[in-house]
Every structure is written in structure tokens, then in C-alpha cells.
Amino acid sequence: MTYHRTSYAVWEITLKCNLACSHCGSRAGNARSKELSTEEALDLVRQMASVGIKEVTLIGGEAFLRPDWLEIAASITSAGMLCGMTTGGYGISLDTAAKMKEAGIRTVSVSIDGLEETHDRLRGRKGSWKYAFKTMSHLKEVGITFGCNTQINRLSAPEFPSIYECIRDAGARAWQVQLTVPMGNAADNAHILLQPYELLDIYPMLARVARRAYAEGVQLQAGNNIGYYGPYERLLRGRGNEHEWSFWQGCGAGLSTLGIEADGAIKGCPSLPTTTYTGGNIRERTLHDIIENTAELRMNLGAGTPEGTKHLWGFCKTCEYAELCRGGCSWTAHVFFDRRGNNPYCHHRALAHAEKGLRERLVPLVKAQGLPFDNGQFKLIVEPIDTPLPEDPLQFSSERIHWSASWEHESQKEKVKS
């Protein structure tokens, strides 16, 4: 039996949302037309427990906008699985937080995508930043452990050190970061995406913030499209405990993770495009059958064999880390090029090009259709590093990073130590 390979599920229980994020991959807003009924959802909980899922994170849209969400959470807890939740944090009152605690929700991740003006702009609702922090205070009061998650793009990146200080002061104990990629609404807003060559300035910043976060008791967690074999790989992926195995070891879709959409569609990872990567629907097949017998859920089972690198192309096919990395995050590669296997958001890759006096740049080529979890297609340009860049007011560089006075104080302490 191989179905026990999956241990973690991310479950979109509704696509209904009270925010309108310009970087939302699922284009959340309205509920899907045929979302699972309460009976179907509770049956799926039983199926998840039977295939070996140990932890379930409820997401949306906004999960708490589904009327039976606390019943689903309580069922997950009763089945012996750890129940968590990811939320935009707009509308969780103290009373709601208390009910979450009672239902057994153990951990919550609140999305913070910038300082107040940037966050509200990206999230499409004035006041969303203040309410997210109010939500954190409510979670803290009822005793639910919480962290934050942040998407890094040209709008949020300059504010990254200050974002850290805000969430640290709010009491967040963990912070997951990932790069914004062109899926869903973000595919329509390509101007906010980082260019591959800008990673050369992003990663020294991330490393500096990570070191301070770990020292101050906040566990920075690198998302699946962060890093890849640059000089900060073990620092960023080690979560404050660097060791020889703390590095990217390939896409885990269908190996350790499962993605579930509100209408019962099953994918190997919640972020993957629906059309290409759905293995089946629990209204038609059992979860066990979908995991065990569909190609979409078994695409990574060839890891460590020649079969595991057949999908690679472009730079990733020639890379010295190809067999281990297998093209980085499948979601990130696919939404740029409409196929996986060649990931432009790679620190090692940006460094390798820079050593040759080159840089990579991405230009939109085909528009996305406007569906949840959809993508368009980009053209990859490789050019001499001194080629004049198109005029772009959002272009990111280290000079744009906002370091507060506290970071200057930290630098002085480091100088004294050395």
C-alpha cells in the first residue's frame, strides 16, 4: 500500500471570501456552485483519517464564511487529526475565536502582506490590516497558537523587515513566506511580481531578517518556492535549526501533501492549477482510490530515479541539482510556463546567470482565462546583465528596502561582536 504517503491536507471548504485580493490564486469571492454538503464534508473527514492524514488546514476563500465550518473542524479533531486554519483575519471576533478553540482548532495562520497601506491595497479592503491584528489579539486571548504568512512581491518586499517587527510584536510564533506567482488574480497583475534577477537582492534581506527572527523566537518558514541551493538555503529552510539535511528536496505534491477544493476535487497540492492536476472528485471516487490510482497524485513517485527528472526542461534540465530538486516548486514553474519542470524563481539559478554576466526576465505572453487556479504563460528572456531595463517604477533593489532604526542598532551590535 502506498496511500499512507500523504500526511498533510489543505482543504478549501468554501471559495466565498470577504476580501478581494489582487494576488489571490483561486480568485476567491463567491462560493463555488456545487460545494460539498455537510454530510459529504464529514464523510471526507472520515476518509482523510483512514488514508493516514495527520493534519488538516482549513482555508477558503475564507473558511469561517461557511456555516458549518466549526462542525467540520470539530469532526477533524474528533477523528484524531490536528486541525489548523489559514485566514485573512477580517471578521474573527473574540466570541468566534472562543468557538474555534472549543472546536479544537489548534493553530491559525493570519495573512499579512505588507504594512497597513500596502496590505489593504493588496487585500482589496480598507481596514483589513487593522482587523487582521485585532484577530491575532483575539486568538491570543483565547489561547490559540498563531503565526502569519506573507507573500513577497514588489509591493511587499521593501517593507519586509518592518512587517516582521509588526507580527513579532503581535505575538506570532511562526511566519511562513513565499513568493507571489502568476496564478488567478496575480496572473492579471504581473507588474507586482518579482523578476528572477531581483532575487539577488531579495535573499540577503530574507537571510538578515531570518537570523533576527530565529534569535527572537519567531520561526521563519520558507515556502515551497523560496530558496534552492543558494548560500542561505540551510538558514532559510532549517527553521532556526540548520543541519546538513535542511535544504529543498523536491516537490512533495502527492507524496506528503494533498489539496482539496470545495467541490470535492483532489490535487496533490492545494496551489496546483485545477485543470491540469486534479486527480478526481470524491463524489465519484474514494479518496483512497484517487491517491492510489491517478497519475496526477502519483507524478512525484519517481523521485530518485531517471523517471523523476523526465519532466525537466530549460535550465532545470541541465542543473547540477536536477535529480534532487526536480525543478523546484511545480506550481511556480507551471503558472509561468503552463508546464512544470523549469522554475525561474531559483536563487542558485539567478546566481549562476549572474556569474556569466546574464540575467533572466519574464514578460507576459498569454493571458489567463479568468477561472479559479488558472494561469497564463510568460516568455523568458535571457540577456546580458548590463542591458538597459524597461522603465518600471516598481523595480525592486536593495536600495528600496525599509530598515528601521532597530536594524541599524542590530548592525552595530554585529560589528562589535566581530
8 A C-beta contact, residue 266 and residue 282: yes
State the cell numbers at 113.
502582506
Residue type, 396: F
8 A C-beta contact, residue 6 and residue 53: yes
Per-residue CA distances from 135 to 97, 123, 141, 171 (Å):
8, 16, 10, 12
Mean pLDDT of 390-413: 87
Q: What is the pLDDT of residues 100-146, one digit of tens each?
A: 999 999 999 999 999 999 999 999 999 999 999 999 999 999 999 99
Q: Look up residue 29 and give its DSSP letter.
A: B
What mean pLDDT, rounded, does the chain reach? 95
- The alpha-carbon radius of gyration of the chain (Å, integer) is 21
What does the H/E/C string look like for 149-165?
EEEECCCCHHHHHHHHH
State what percent of residues in the chain have pLDDT above 70.
97
Q: What is the pLDDT of residues 142-201, one digit of tens each?
A: 999 999 999 999 999 999 999 999 999 999 999 999 999 999 999 999 999 999 999 999
E strand or H helix at 381, and its extent? strand 377-384
Buried/exposed code over 279-292 (b: 16+ C-beta within 10 A; e: otherwise): bbebeebebebbbb
Q: What is the pLDDT of residue 241?
A: 79
Q: What is the pLDDT of residue 42?
A: 98
State the cell numbers at 219.
520561526
Q: What is the pLDDT of residues 30-81, one digit of tens each?
A: 999 999 999 999 999 999 999 999 999 999 999 999 999 999 999 999 999 9
Round to whole Å and give the CA distance between 88 and 19: 8
Find how far residue 341's CA is from the centre of its chain.
18
Find how far residue 374's CA is from the centre of its chain.
16
State the cell numbers at 319.
542543473
β-pairing, 105-111 vs 358-366, is unpaired
- Quick check: helix, strand or coil at residue 281? strand
Round to whole Å and give the CA distance between 259 and 103: 22
